[in-house]
Structure 1
Amino acid sequence: MIERIETGARMSKIVKHNGVAYLCGQVGEGATVADQTRDCLSRVEALLQQAGTSREHILQAIVWLADMADFAEMNEVWDSWVPAGHAPARACGEAKLARPELKVEIIVTAAC
């Protein structure tokens, strides 16, 4: 069975299937990469909770940065957010994001 949560015409914020939660990409507010990453991860955490899971159960994360020069700044926030011993498989790349002011977008898949 597939469960879709907060479904709109274009996408669902969460899709659950076979004990896995797939979250839509999350972006954050703020002037810096660190600010946007913190806000983004706060939104990810809220969606994980809504899906009935947590950061300890993240299986995979995909991080898109508008500029790879911001990699270290994003990682500083990421490293303090991921629970010790629970680092997921992760990829990070550079991409043109949906709006020019966006610096980071994170997509997460987690076990429920």
Structure 2
Amino acid sequence: MQITLDSPAGGPRPLSPYYSQVARVEHADGSALLFLSGQIAEGATLAEQTRGAFEAIDALLKAHGASLAHVISIRTCLTDIGKLAEYGSVRRQFLTGTPPTSMTFEVPRLFRPEAQVEIEVVAAVPGGD
């Protein structure tokens, strides 16, 4: 097993120098697990921020040869759980297959004061065998 931590050029830059965007755990058969840091995005509405976060996630996954179809687990922080339906509507546009495992919870605030949502995922990438 090999572990690589990085912030790939094809994805968004980290908001601080104190974390990596992706942890890739590579197995001997070529399969890998990708653990992505939580993603936030700019936008005036929760829908805009959710869309931007999923676009960032998609870019990070693509930089590691994966896609949103490989997502097996998702954790979401919302600053207003009353907007869960708005978030879910956008999420369904990006995660179109069998839903991954999920955890969504309300938090009083996020890293950036204007952020309404932060999304973290784990993806499983099959090997070449």
- The 5 A counterparts of 1:1-112 are 1-6=2-7, 9-17=17-25, 18=27, 19-84=32-97, 86-95=98-107, 96-112=109-125
Q: Deviation per CA, 1:16-51: give whole Å up to 9, x if none.
A: 113100001100110000000001100000001012
CA distance in 2, matches of 1:52, 1:29: 26
CA distance in 2, matches of 1:48, 1:87: 17
AA aligned to 2:5 is R
> In 2 relative to 1, CA 101–9 (structure 1 residues): closer, same or farther, beyond 3 Å?
closer
Q: What TM-score, normalized by structure 1, do the two folds share? A: 0.92
Partner SS for 1:12: coil
CA distance in 2, matches of 1:69, 1:78: 16
Tell me the CA shift for residue 99 of structure 1: 2.0
Q: Deviation per CA, 1:84-105: give whole Å up to 9, x if none.
A: 3x31101100112112210000
Q: Which runs of 5+ in 2 are unaligned?
A: 9-15
CA distance in 1, matches of 2:96, 2:68: 7
Q: Larger Cα Rg: Structure 1 or Structure 2?
A: 2
Let me know the Cα RMSD of the aligned residues: 1.5
More helix by share: 1
Q: Which runs of 5+ in 1 are unaligned?
A: none
CA distance in 2, matches of 1:13, 1:72: 27
Q: What TM-score, normalized by structure 2, do the two folds share? A: 0.81
More strand by share: 1
